[in-house]
Amino acid sequence: MNRKTLYFTAPRQVELREEPLPALGAEDVLVETLCSAISAGTEMLIYRGQFPKETDAVDSISSGLQYPTPYGYASVGQVKEIGKSVNREWRDRLVFSFQPHTSHFTSLPSSLIPLPLDLSPESACFLPNMETAVNLVQDAAPILGERVLVLGQGIVGLLVTALLQEFPLETLVTSDCYSLRREASLAIGVTASLDSDAPDFCDIALSHCRKLVPHREIESLPQRGGFDLAFELSGNPNALNDALALTAFSGRIMIGSWYGEKRAPIDLGGAFHRSRIKLISSQVSTIAPELSARWDKSRRFEVAWEALKRVQPQKWITHHYSFEKACDAYQLLDQNPQDAIQVIFNHQT
């Protein structure tokens, strides 16, 4: 039996390749993919050739990333065949897998995550990004009454915003350069969603924060308001300067973006040097040491599933493509990102 797998073959080039499926072992199951989600952040770095060529930053490719390569990590499918040693209950089960985009794949059941009965396959495609959002919010540990800023309203930014909206915050402000994403953010119920490209962006953002009494150690600095907590989720390293400018004394900045090979000058002089701002990297492949005694990935997945049921992120799917139209999907995200939020491959159309 053959399958079709998507390969990134060169910058801005993808192709579907037909290849034989591995033989089904006694302990394996065969899964037919129903849908898979494009990660517009990570996958566009690969599509554009902006990823570090030797890296362990991409969990599924520990030996470095080279063309041609399959990639993807958000596939939902149905178990079609089971090995002779596999429990029959797996037959026909809907499952999630961190698989590259492909029409079929074999897997050990232990590597699959069964879908909750009350969640659709398309909603389940958001599981990796929701796990990332849960991890970011857990690492940030928002405090009652805080002023919070989220830079970037792609899928991860929207999911983080939706989780933060459940907290009793004083202010929740978001930003993005695309109006479609800002509209989605406003629908969540944030205080404001601002155009990050506007020349007066920082002034408008600060206007949503109450003025702070200057700390005695920084009385010589300009008196201004600021956010207690900022998330940098835009994928643009330049946005770190906005986060630094908008974060209050002793505030914290959670950096969830993976920038790949993108670089930008960061202003660590001036106010930053005396402001005791904390820059914190947060990445979903591990659990913060202070939580790891009580939390593991299984518990975090349970929280992510429940969050998906509450948030219902399928409302942010703007485009469905058949697998055969994969080239068109990546061209859309590359050339007209302002028109899309989440793009899904439907494999059975």
Sketch out the chain's domains with CATH numbers.
2-125+312-346 (3.90.180.10), 133-281 (3.40.50.720)
Give the H/E segment covering residue 253: strand 247-255
Instruction: Name, in order, each residue with C-beta under 8 angstroms of 339's C-beta and a sequence gap of 6 or more.
Output: 180, 318, 332
Q: Which residues pair with 13 in a beta bridge?
A: 10
Question: Of all residues in the chain, what percent carry a pLDDT higher than 90?
Answer: 81
Hey, what are 43's tokens? 């996958």
How far is 250 from 153, CA to CA, in rounded Å? 25
Residue 62 has pLDDT above 50, yes or no: no
The secondary element (H helix, E strand) that includes residue 251 is: strand 247-255
- With vertex at residue 153, the alpha carbon angle to CA 151 and CA 156, rounded to the nearest 5 degrees, is 100
Cα 164 from Cα 217, distance rounded (Å): 31
Q: According to DSSP H, which parts of the chain are helical?
A: 42-48, 121-124, 127-140, 155-164, 179-188, 201-206, 239-246, 271-275, 297-311, 326-335
Q: What is the DSSP string of 174-229?
A: EEES-HHHHHHHHHHT-SEEEETTSTTHHHHHHTTSPPPPPPGGGTTSPP---EEE
Residue 27 CB contacts under 8 Å (≥ 6 apart), including other chains? 83, 85, 86, 108, 109
Backbone φ, ψ for residue 174 (5° rounding)? -125, 165
> 233 near 213, Cβ under 8 Å?
no
pLDDT at 63 (0 to 100): 45
Specify which residues 320 forms β-bridges with. Answer: 344
Q: What is the pLDDT of residues 118-168, one digit of tens each?
A: 999 999 999 999 999 999 999 999 999 999 999 999 999 999 999 999 999
Rg (CA), the chain: 21
* pTM > 0.75: yes
Q: What percent of the chain stands above pLDDT 70? A: 91
What is the structure's pLDDT at 222?
A: 46
Confidence at residue 60, expressed as pLDDT on a 0 to 100 scale: 46
pLDDT for the residue numbered 51: 83
45 and 27 in contact (C-beta within 8 Å)? no
Separation CA 330–CA 349 (nearest Å): 18
pLDDT-derived band at 258, boundaries 50, 70, 90: confident
CA 37 and chain centroid, separation:
11
**What one-letter code names the amino acid at 83?**
G
Checking if the pLDDT of 268 tops 60, the result is yes
> How is residue 156 written in tokens?
């991860």
Q: Report yes or no: 348 and 34 within 8 Å, Cβ to Cβ.
A: yes
Q: Name 178's Cβ contacts closer than 8 Å, sequence gap at least 6.
A: 153, 337, 338
What pLDDT, on a 0 to 100 scale, did the predictor assign at position 266?
87
Q: Give pLDDT, residue 114.
A: 97
Give whole-number Cα distances, 76 to 34, 203, 225, 319, in Å. 6, 44, 45, 17
pLDDT exceeds cutoff 70 at 212 = no
pLDDT over threshold 60, residue 54: no
Calculate the average pLDDT of the chain: 91
Say whether pLDDT at 217 is over 60. no
Q: CA 50 to CA 46: how far, in whole Å?
A: 6
